[in-house]
């Protein structure tokens, strides 16, 4: 699901936009059901992620920079790298040292990738407001402490470039 984030808007406005987008998606949920079911029931989670990222954007090759929040084992990292152009930059952030090492080991020769082992908020705080064209997140927003979630969402919203996007992948 895609929602435009306006850094100056209150958090309650963002929640209302997400609510509206979610309700609209639920009204049309059968359109993609067969394709997603094929991917998920066949345990082809990477295929399902590939499909979802493809729906989210068609211009990946034109994106100069992506920040990945919560890289985990690097499954989404690889899908992002596959779509980015040769001069793009991907900064993958994972706070768990074991998982961050795993991401680095999976893509050791890709010069477009930088893996940071730290809290995502630290990197976002270093970034100038309004400069990041695209963020992809697999962070578990719904299970985070509200203060942490709100802090990260505010930081992410403030760092997005005009017209920038925050793509969030959630699963249970």
The pLDDT tens digits of the residues spanning 146-156 come to 999 999 999 99
Mean pLDDT of 40-63: 65
Q: What single-letter DSSP state applies at residue 128?
A: P
Highest-confidence range of 35-39, 128-132, 143-147, by mean pLDDT? 128-132
Answer with the residue of higher pLDDT: 1 or 81: 81
Return the closest-CA partner of residue 78 out of 55, 110, 44, 41.
Answer: 110
**Is 137:68 a contact under the CB 8 Å cutoff?**
yes
């Amino acid at each position: 699901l895609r929602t435009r984030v306006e850094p100056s808007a209150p958090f309650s406005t963002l929640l209302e936009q997400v609510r509206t987008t979610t309700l609209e998606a639920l009204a049309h949920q059968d359109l993609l059901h067969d394709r997603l079911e094929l991917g998920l029931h066949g345990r082809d989670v990477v295929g399902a992620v590939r499909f979802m990222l493809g729906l989210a954007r068609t211009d990946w090759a034109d994106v100069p920079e992506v920040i990945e929040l919560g890289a985990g084992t690097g499954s989404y990292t690889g899908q992002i790298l596959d779509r980015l152009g040769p001069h793009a930059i991907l900064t993958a952030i994972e706070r768990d040292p074991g998982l961050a090492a795993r991401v680095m080991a999976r893509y050791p020769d890709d010069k477009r990738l930088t893996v940071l082992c730290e809290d995502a908020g630290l990197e976002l705080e270093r970034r100038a407001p309004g400069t990041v064209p695209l963020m992809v997140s697999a962070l578990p927003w719904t299970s985070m402490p509200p203060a942490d979630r709100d802090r990260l969402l505010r930081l992410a919203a403030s760092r997005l470039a005009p017209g920038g996007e925050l793509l969030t992948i959630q699963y249970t």
